[in-house]
């Protein structure tokens, strides 16, 4: 029962995250390149950013759908998730969007709301439409809202630990940070949230970004045979978080990606791969990582920089992951194709 609950919770969260982040991930950086020459695209960019802030609602709705709740209950889980996410803040007399909020706290709020509504069941009968939305706000939603500062502080503690690692020797630091972000991207914790909380930049950001690249590329390769091509590409173009459920059930599926992350992170120190807090959380989505690396180099779009970018962000991740997946699946038989199976039906 507990395993089934967390399966549905993590799967619903994964779907919501991908749906909310994919539009901006695919179009964001590319539109920024074109907007100076075609300004109307700025409105489209703004829309994709607004959609990102709907992530908590989408997470709540998708979890409710997977739990086969009624339409009223599904909508109530969505609004409770938004309350507990911190994605909306009050400034003076106005309410403003605050990014995607704290994903961990959103997940906690969603889980509490589902449990609360399951406990209520059909007791309210004809009064459901009047009371369920209100009770969802007053009980699990308010609890999530009160818990938000503490979970946010925990996120800052995690960020501070990563920030400390950045003060170490670049190659070792890069390797450690890449592995850490490989694990974070497979958890409910927001990589963007952690990176922006400590303003992770420079080589630390580049290494973090490469950790996500290694994870996304590796999972795309490993999951191709058990999923559709579109689902496999979603690991790279969207987010590796769609494997959260499988990772928590079988952590061994990440072994090849963790090793690849460690190697790529070390290369960030060797080749001075840099980035910003934003690029640290997105990897190859929308080419955010590669474009930020080129833009942050002193010499810009030279053949040398382009060669490094193509090698470190594309060729090496594919080669390393392919080789390691073969070793762990064929030689040691630690992982199988079915371990990466995703069911979004």
pLDDT digits (tens, 9 = 90+) for 256-308: 999 999 999 999 999 999 887 767 877 887 788 898 899 889 888 899 999 99
Query: What is the structure's pLDDT at 196?
Result: 67
Looking at the DSSP assignment, which residues form a beta bridge with residue 202? 275
Domain residue spans of the chain = 1-152, 166-345
Query: What is the structure's pLDDT at 18?
Result: 74
Confidence band for 199, pLDDT divided at 50, 70 and 90: low
pTM over 0.75: no
Query: What is the structure's pLDDT at 8?
Result: 86
Q: Does residue 211 contact residue 179 with C-beta atoms inside 8 Å?
A: yes
96, 166, 205 from 170: Cα distances, Å: 38, 7, 12
Query: What is the structure's pLDDT at 286?
Result: 75
The string of pLDDT tens digits covering residues 135-145 is 999 999 999 99
Looking at the DSSP assignment, which residues form a beta bridge with residue 89? 96
67, 100, 199 from 49: Cα distances, Å: 29, 9, 20
Residues in CB range of 313: below 8 A, 6 or more apart: 210, 213, 284, 289, 290, 293
Cα angle, residue 189 at apex, residues 317 and 9 outer, rounded to 5°: 105
Query: What is the structure's pLDDT at 193?
Result: 66
Q: Please check the confidence at residue 161 and state whether its pLDDT lies above 70.
A: yes
């Amino acid at each position: 029962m507990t395993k089934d609950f967390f399966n549905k919770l993590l799967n619903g969260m994964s779907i919501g995250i991908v749906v909310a982040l994919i539009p901006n991930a695919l179009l964001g950086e590319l539109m920024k390149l074109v907007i100076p020459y075609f300004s109307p695209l700025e409105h489209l960019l703004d829309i994709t950013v607004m959609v990102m802030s709907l992530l908590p609602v989408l997470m709540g709705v998708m979890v409710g759908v997977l739990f086969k709740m009624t339409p009223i209950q599904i909508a109530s889980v969505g609004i409770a998730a938004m309350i507990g996410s911190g994605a909306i803040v009050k400034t003076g007399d106005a309410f403003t969007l605050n990014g995607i909020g704290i994903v961990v706290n959103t997940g906690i709020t969603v889980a509490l709301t589902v449990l609360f509504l399951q406990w209520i069941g059909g007791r309210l009968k004809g009064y459901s439409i009047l009371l369920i939305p209100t009770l969802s706000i007053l009980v699990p939603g308010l609890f999530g809202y009160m818990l938000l500062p503490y979970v946010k502080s925990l996120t800052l503690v995690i960020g501070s630990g990563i920030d400390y690692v950045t003060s170490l020797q670049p190659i070792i630091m890069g390797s450690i940070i890449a592995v850490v972000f490989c694990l974070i991207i497979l958890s409910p914790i927001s990589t963007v949230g952690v990176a922006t909380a400590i303003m992770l930049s420079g080589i630390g950001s580049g290494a973090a970004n490469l950790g996500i690249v290694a994870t996304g590329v590796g999972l795309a390769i490993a999951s191709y045979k058990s999923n559709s091509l579109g689902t496999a590409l979603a690991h790279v173009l969207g987010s590796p978080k769609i494997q959260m459920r499988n990772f928590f059930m079988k952590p061994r599926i990440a072994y090849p990606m963790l090793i690849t992350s460690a190697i790529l992170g070390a290369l960030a120190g060797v080749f001075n791969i840099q980035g910003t807090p934003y690029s640290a959380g997105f990897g190859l989505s929308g080419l955010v990582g590669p474009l930020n690396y080129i833009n942050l180099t002193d010499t810009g779009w030279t053949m040398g920089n382009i060669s490094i970018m193509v090698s470190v962000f594309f060729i090496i991740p594919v080669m390393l992951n392919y080789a390691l997946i073969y070793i762990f699946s064929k030689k040691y038989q630690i992982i199988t194709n079915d371990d990466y199976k995703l069911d979004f039906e």
